[in-house]
Amino acid sequence: MAMVNGTAVNKLILDPFGMPVKQPGELSPEEFEGLYHHNFIIKRLVMIADAERKRNRVEYLSETLRFINILVSISLRLKEQKIEDRKQILRSYVHRINRWLLNMRKKHAKDRDE
């Protein structure tokens, strides 16, 4: 019941499906139990989605750090080589890195599809 200009007005509130919305005191025990389980399931699904997002973010950051470490190690190894040999050695490293990146993309594409 709502108050408009000091007068009580019985206002019916409808949900998005056109059904009247009940106040917590108006719910039967069965309806209240169903509402409790429904809210529990929604909260659980949200927690699972949050955990999945966090796991994906951690995995992305760890793979990024791994990639940077690989680039640094390649740079240090190339520095030890003769200048004439560096181009060929770098080409082989780049080929291996490309395969590694393609495998990572395939792996994450499978994760998104699931």
> Mean pLDDT: which of 26-30, 39-43, 108-112 is highest?
39-43
- Strand blocks (E) in 23-106: none
Q: Note the pTM of the prediction, 2 decimals.
A: 0.53
CB 89 within 8 A of CB 81: yes
Average pLDDT over residues 27-42: 71
3-state secondary structure of 63: helix
Task: Place 53 in a pLDDT band, splitting at 50, 70 and 90.
Answer: confident
